[in-house]
Amino acid sequence: MPQVTSSALSFRFCCLFCSFGWLNCLGVFQSYYQTNQLSDHTPSIIAWIASLDFFVMLLPGPMVGFVYDNHGPKYLLLFGTFFHLSGLMMASVCTEYWQFILAQGICSPLGLNCIFQAGTSIIQTWFLKKRGISYGIMVAGSGLGGIIFPIMTSHLIPRIGFVWTMRTFGFMILGLMGIAIITVRSRLPPKPRAFALRVFLDPFKDSKCLLLTISSFFFFLGLFISINFIEVQALANDMSIRLAGYLLAILNTAGILGIIIPGALADKVGKFNMQSLWCLVAGIIVLGFGLPASSNAAFITFAAFYGFASGALVSLPPAEIAHIPKVDQIDRPSRRLIGNPIAGAIVSQNHGKYWVLNVFSGVMLMAGASMFVLTRTYMAEWRLLAKV
């Protein structure tokens, strides 16, 4: 069993590299589009591309979960690979805003949802006691993708141009997903169930699930703002383009440790306890480091600290969701991620100044932390020192 589960994690690592790893590098495109193809659009308008990426990826979650329950991961991986690659290849030749919306904001993330859910859903069929660390190791693939994709972008675009850079990403993802399609398996056979609308509504009747959804809404609202805008914020403070291109790589490098270490600790002290702690820490880092940042050293420090904290926040929710209902009844509610366009509008209204953006992000993370404290206390039946 250890060899099987180890290889299972390794190949699901590819799924997270190609899905959430891609999302972790979207800040590179915010910066690039603002100075190139979409330079005549405001940061808020451009930010809708990344926000749609997150929204469309998460929106069909319940339906994708239904397909997984009935057919397993294979068809989801095939469908997801096709749409993700189609979106990237179309984005490589886009010149108009609406084209980027369709290709990168809608087509690609439809595939990402299938890849992500196929990769994460089967973990719960292999692990029970060590779910925190197992999710952490697998989700570390997203951190690795967030390191490699931004560095490749900064080096490839000046040499081969935007078109072939996007195509290079597509070919690399095709190879990795080919491995995943061949190797990814669920330990348990599919359990077909009839389609019923109430199946998708029942989780919201569970007070625990509802509290977790509200908590996640607030912290996701603030979580990705710094990831999406850290590069353009650093460029606005006179950081060189080459050095700014490494900020997301630094952030995601620290994020790998942030994914694995808190995931391991969560198995010992409780998943909700760790989520509450790191959501609070992330808010403090944004307000304490991101808000006053103006020098190269300050932005690099902020990227490293925030990467660690945000890595913990991304890796823990799947294990938390699995902790609430039975394993075979899990459906993940979609989260409407509107934080990036709001942040972009804030920047435009403040004439290119980013301090209010950081205040908004930090406050939303603090609100999420408060809700997570309430959620874990409710889950623990109001016992303050309980492991939950």
CA–CA gap between residue 84 and residue 220 (Å, rounded): 23
Neighbours of 377 (CB within 10 A): 17
Residues near 230 by beta carbon (within 8 Å), at least 6 away in sequence: 27, 247, 248, 251, 290, 299, 302, 303, 306
Phi and psi at residue 201, to the nearest 5°: -100, -25
> What confidence score (pLDDT) does residue 278 get?
85
> What confidence score (pLDDT) does residue 269 get?
78
Domain boundaries, the chain: 2-379
Cα distances from 194 to residues 11, 69, 281, in angstroms, run 30, 10, 43
Residue 45 burial class via C-beta count within 10 angstroms: exposed 0-12, middle 13-18, buried 19 and up: middle
CA–CA gap between residue 279 and residue 367 (Å, rounded): 9
> What confidence score (pLDDT) does residue 127 get?
59
> What confidence score (pLDDT) does residue 87 get?
93
- What number of CA atoms fall less than 13 Å from residue 104's CA on the CB side? 25
CA-based radius of gyration for the chain: 20
* Token code pair at residue 29: 């495109």
> What confidence score (pLDDT) does residue 334 get?
40
Residue 370 burial class via C-beta count within 10 angstroms: exposed 0-12, middle 13-18, buried 19 and up: middle
Residues near 262 by beta carbon (within 8 Å), at least 6 away in sequence: 136, 274, 278, 311, 312, 315, 316
CA angle centred on 45, ends 157 and 354, rounded to 5°? 85
> What confidence score (pLDDT) does residue 301 get?
92
Cα–Cα nearest to 119, from 305, 332, 300: 332
* Token code pair at residue 189: 């056979």
Neighbours of 272 (CB within 10 A): 27
Cα–Cα nearest to 23, from 129, 91, 105, 134: 105
Task: Tell me which H or E stretch contains 167.
Answer: helix 131-183
Buried b (16+ CB within 10 A) or exposed e, 180-216: bbeebbbeeeeeeeeeeeebbeebeeeebbebbbebb
Q: For 310-321, what is each residue's pLDDT tens digit? A: 877 776 666 666
| Helix intervals (H) in 19-130 | 20-23, 26-35, 43-58, 61-71, 74-91, 97-100, 108-121, 123-126
Q: Write the CATH number of the domain with boundaries 2-379.
A: 1.20.1250.20
> What confidence score (pLDDT) does residue 204 get?
66
Residues near 115 by beta carbon (within 8 Å), at least 6 away in sequence: 15, 18, 19, 76, 77, 80, 81, 84, 177, 180
Mean pLDDT of all residues in the chain?
Answer: 78
> What confidence score (pLDDT) does residue 141 get?
66
Q: For 162-187, what is each residue's pLDDT tens digit? A: 999 999 999 999 998 888 888 777 66
* Token code pair at residue 173: 């993802």
Contact 80, 113 (CB under 8 A): yes
Q: In which residue ranges of the chain is pLDDT below 50?
A: 1-8, 326-336
